[in-house]
Amino acid sequence: MNNNPKIDTNSIKKGPIMFIMIIGAFIAILNQTVMSVATPELMVEFKITAATAQWLTTGYMLVNGVLIPITAYLMQRFTTRELFQTAMFIFLAGTIVSAIATGFPLLLTGRMIQAAGAGIIMPLLTNVILTIFPPNKRGAAMGMVGLAIIFAPAIGPTIAGYIIDNYKWETMFYGMIPIAVLVIILGFIYLRNVSDRIKTKLDFLSVTLSTVGFGALLYGFSRAGTLGWSDVEVLSTIFVGVLSLVLFSWKELKSQNPLLDLRVFKYKMFSLTTIINIAVTMVMYADMMLLPLYLQNIRGYTAIESGLLLLPGALVMGLLMPVTGKLFDRFGARWLTIIGMIITIITTMGFINLTDSTSYTYLVLMSTGRRIGMALMMMPLQTAGLNQLPQRLNAHGTAVSNTIRQVAGAVGTSLLVTVMTVRTKSHLQDMIPTAAAKGLNQMQLIKEASIQGVNDAYLVIIGIGIIGLLMSFFIKKGKQNSALETSAPLENVTNKKLSTN
């Protein structure tokens, strides 16, 4: 190993590195949503229930959530090139296994292998941006990353719907293989190491507590939407998850070399923006989950029509992301977040009075408006929080931020499904006594009650948005913490062994 490995980030060609890693992140995130449209066909193909088929998406999310906390260690232990290429090889292997799967168990295995690679890519990309860009230019860079984060899941259902209607489901995976191979080849040619390597030992107890904690918590919340919050399986897994995470947190705070350094929460702006991001993530899931349910299950629209409805908003959001990044570099996150949250709340109000005749055009306009609001605040919030951390905590801050977003997504989805289900049952009971007088049959009653249940779920989303809006007024445009490697504990500094492969 080189004993004087200081990397000059000014000499690094940032364009090729960003392009390669964003494409890798794009296909990784795309895979998180493509299976939703394919579920009906896979149920017939493998003769499985909807609850079983749903694990192709839930399992992917679980592996992502479990692996992300470990990425802080991986980003310190391995160089940028080593980690990215390894993640892409794992993702490629999972894609190949999925493509050749002849049964559900093998397909699920392939999906979880894919997720193991995908879980590394996004935190690594964020960490690279924090390393090679100064604080006053990170907003624009994160805006470009926003294209992958937002555009990929928005077009995923549309692409999958087209493939399912015209080709076999395996085509979704075969089509990704050449893209993954191309990214790997370009990585070998252009990808540079942009961070130093710190030789640290892996704390297996922390890994175990983290895996059990986040895995059980995400599993519990994902099952709550189906089984209900009073189910023994849901309550027991959430309890195990919470207990494991409490023990994990206690151990990390006591450790001199933690797997996931929770001291990042000592920085007030990081803590504040992370909490607001929880609200933003939950608000975002309204469109991604409630609207397709309303369109397909209640209104009878096809999967492709449902996916296409979200596409204009995704395109607008993708175009706004780089612009928002530049605005953040100039003005900071406070007013972008406030304005974005106000726009999102106002347009969400357009969904609290849905009927069985609400026009498709109206839904497109309101959904696109929500996406404009989300574009103004998502990446500025995350960047503002990470900018406050000293350089030595970049990897840990990135891992913490991504982990909490995964958990918030699972909680948000579960919460919305629960509200919609409970309120639908309540509305149905209220309507039964007057159904005969109104001339409504059972199917009409269920349809009307379901619509009211969706409306109530959107009301909850507005409430969460208002909480996020109030907290946004406390965001300050602070300077990046000047404590870089010199602020690390003495034992961490003296024990560093660095390498630049």
pLDDT score, position 393: 83
DSSP, collapsed to helix, strand or coil, labels residue 247 as helix
At 337, list the tokens: 């977040």
Tally: H helices and E strands in the chain: 21, 0
pLDDT score, position 479: 54
φ and ψ at residue 333, rounded to 5 degrees = -95, -20
At 56, list the tokens: 């192709």
Q: Which CB contacts under 8 angstroms, 24+ apart, belong to 177-185?
A: 177/92, 177/95, 177/96, 177/99, 179/23, 179/27, 180/27, 180/88, 180/91, 180/92, 180/95, 181/92, 183/20, 183/23, 183/24, 183/27, 183/88, 184/85, 184/88, 184/89, 184/92
DSSP-derived secondary structure letter, 267? S
Q: What is the CATH number of domain 9-203+255-494?
A: 1.20.1250.20
* Nearest of 241, 190, 254 to residue 211 by alpha carbon: 241
At 417, list the tokens: 């499904």
Single pTM value for the model: 0.74
DSSP-derived secondary structure letter, 481? P
pLDDT score, position 90: 95
Residuewise pLDDT in 10s, the chain (501 residues): 443 345 555 667 778 888 888 888 888 888 777 776 677 778 888 888 766 776 787 777 778 777 877 887 888 788 888 899 999 999 999 999 999 998 889 999 999 999 889 888 888 888 888 888 887 777 777 777 776 666 776 677 777 777 877 888 888 899 999 999 999 999 888 887 776 677 777 778 888 898 888 888 878 877 776 677 788 988 999 999 999 999 988 988 888 878 788 888 999 999 999 999 999 988 887 667 788 778 877 888 876 787 788 788 878 887 888 888 888 888 888 999 999 999 999 999 999 999 888 999 999 999 999 989 988 988 888 888 888 888 788 878 888 887 788 778 777 777 787 788 888 888 888 888 777 676 777 788 888 888 999 999 999 999 999 999 999 999 986 555 544 443 334 334 334 333 333
pLDDT score, position 21: 87
pLDDT score, position 232: 92
Q: Could you state, in order of their start, the residue ranges of all structural domains in the chain?
A: 9-203+255-494, 204-254
What type of residue sits at position 424? T
What type of residue sits at position 435? A
